[in-house]
Amino acid sequence: MSPLWKRNPFVGFGIGMGLLGALALALKHRQRSVPGRIPDEISPAIFATKSVTTAHGELVYHTSGSGTPVVFLHGFFLGASSYEWSKVYARSAGRHEVIAPDLIGFGESERPAKALDAMDYVESLAEFLSKVVPHKPAVIIASGVSANLSLLLAARHPELVSRMVLFLPTDLRGAQKCRAMGIVGKSRIPGISHLIYKRHLAQAPFIRSWLEKSGFSNPEKVHEEVLSVLVNCAQQYGAEYAIFNFFKKRHSFDVSRSLASVLAPVHIIWPSKAYGFHPSDAAHLCRNMPRATMEILPEASAFAPMESPEDITEVVSRWIDGDLTALQST
């Protein structure tokens, strides 16, 4: 008589899933015991690395310079960290106090398994700013999801924000936008999502393919340094928590009701070659804020701070150093 698993395919499937679950558990413990090393390229050499403890976890940040505090906030994507802005913020340290944190769940910061919602991130940022630049409003430069979080921050804590430059603000509603950021849905089978993440999504071939197809407008600009940093950050123990938790909670992330309370000047940079994104999203944000402007960069991709930092630096410098009255009249 043939074995039960051959006579009943559902039993065989159950056995297979059990083995995969056990393998996922073993891989989880292996990843916990062998932490990866964050590459030095995540921060320019002239920057000091410090940390601040907040109610939601420890934030590691890189800082240099003096003067007006300018805080760069990276987006939510596979392998995300403050490295996203490193080619831009390094050029601002001579004129400002530049501060570039890794958000909770990313880069070198704490990666808790507990899911954080939008307001958790906003309150952790408010606590961070209050400790790092007390009694002094900061200029916020942010991208992607963090750009929307910055709008919530400015609405809730206007005393902390002087002005903002937001690159591709989004809540990532829609599967196409999530795929553009390398974020995919979770499996409903326990343990399988983490296995897929570790063995496929966080590996160099997948990350390179994702960047070349939908991240960068020019695939030849996916340099080895960019790939190395993103892969390394994606492979850190617990790096998948923030990705999966955000994917699960993104539909409850609504910034629209807070826009009228954003009193700080806001300038939105919109990359025309961002796969899956439309400028109407930026126009909607501008219409609902008292002091908002926008410009479209015709050749920029969703990851222009890494792909074409010179273009982004020019816009950022113009808006953080220029006279607001003159800028907003153009």
CA-wise closest residue to 182 among 37, 302, 304, 38 = 302
Domain assignment present for 187? yes
What's the domain count of the chain? 1
Residue corresponding to tokens 């987006």: 75
CA distance linking residue 208 with residue 143, whole number of Å: 21
DSSP 246-261: HHHHGGG---GGGGGG
Nearest to 93 by CA among 137, 128, 63: 63
How many C-beta neighbours within 10 Å does residue 8 have? 11
For residue 162, tell me if it sits in a domain: yes
Using CA atoms, how far residue 218 sits from 74, 113, 223, 236, 296, in Å, is: 21, 35, 11, 28, 18
Q: Which two tokens stand for residue 300?
A: 């920029």
Torsion angle of the four alpha carbons 290, 326, 97, 133, in this order, in degrees rounded to the nearest 10: -30
Q: What is the pLDDT of residue 178?
A: 85
pLDDT 10s digit of each residue in the chain, 330 long?
Answer: 544 434 443 333 343 333 344 333 333 333 333 345 566 666 667 789 999 999 999 999 999 999 999 999 999 999 999 999 999 998 888 889 999 999 999 999 999 988 888 999 999 999 999 999 998 999 999 999 999 999 999 999 999 999 999 999 998 888 888 888 988 766 667 678 888 899 999 999 999 999 999 999 999 999 999 999 999 999 999 999 988 887 777 666 789 999 999 999 999 999 999 988 999 999 999 999 999 999 999 999 999 999 999 999 999 999 998 765 555 655
Strand order through the sheet with 292-297: 48-54, 57-64, 97-101, 69-73, 138-143, 161-167, 266-271, 292-297
C-alpha 74/C-alpha 66 separation (Å) is 21
Contact 155, 178 (CB under 8 A): no
Tell me how far apart the 2 most distant CA atoms of the chain are, in Å. 86
Asked, for residue 178, whether it belongs to a domain, the answer is yes
Q: Which of 256, 315, 324, 258 is nearest to 291 (CA)?
A: 324
| DSSP string of 259-286, one letter each residue | GGG--S-EEEEEETT-TT--HHHHHHHH
What is 230-249 written as a DSSP string?
HHHHHTSTTHHHHHHHHHHH
Domain carrying residue 309: 40-322
In tens, the pLDDT along 78-131 reads 999 999 999 999 888 888 999 999 999 999 999 998 888 899 999 999 999 999
Evaluate whether residue 74 is within a structural domain: yes
4, part of any domain: no
CATH code at position 181: 3.40.50.1820
Tokens of 155: 């609405």
Asked if the structure places residue 32 within a domain, the reply is no
For residue 25, is it within any domain?
Answer: no
**Residue 148: which residues within 8 A CB-CB, separation 6 or more?**
118, 169, 170, 171, 253, 255
Question: Around 166, how many Cα atoms within 13 Å sit in the side-chain half-sphere?
Answer: 31
Q: How many CB atoms lie within 10 A of CB 94?
A: 12
Residue 170: inside a domain, yes or no?
A: yes
